């Protein structure tokens, strides 16, 4: 399970890095909202990074002993 979370974080970071290297800036293209209520503008890579980190936090609090064992701690 943590492999998925780490993969999301790494893939999102690489996506933003590629945008920055090729275009000089990160392309933001999702602007969501309902009526007058609007969110910030973000991209899929940002969602992957945030989702991966949130998933890691959830895994840590759901089963802390398994998370420590997977990390190699005693």
| Catalytically annotated residue among 19, 44, 46, 50 | 46
Determine whether 19 is an active site residue: no
| Catalytically annotated residue among 11, 28, 53, 67 | 28
Per DSSP, the residues of 5-65 read: HHHHHHHHHHHHHHHHHHHSS----EEEEETTEEEEEE-HHHHHHHHHHHHHHHHHHH-HH
Annotated active-site positions, please?
Answer: 28, 46
């Amino acid at each position: 399970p943590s492999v998925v979370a780490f993969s999301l974080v790494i893939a999102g970071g690489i996506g933003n890095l590629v945008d920055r290297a090729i275009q000089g800036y990160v392309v933001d293209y999702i602007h969501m909202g309902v009526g007058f209520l609007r969110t910030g503008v973000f991209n899929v890579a940002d969602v992957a990074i945030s989702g991966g980190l949130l998933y890691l936090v959830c895994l840590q609090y759901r089963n802390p002993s398994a998370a420590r064992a997977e990390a190699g701690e005693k």
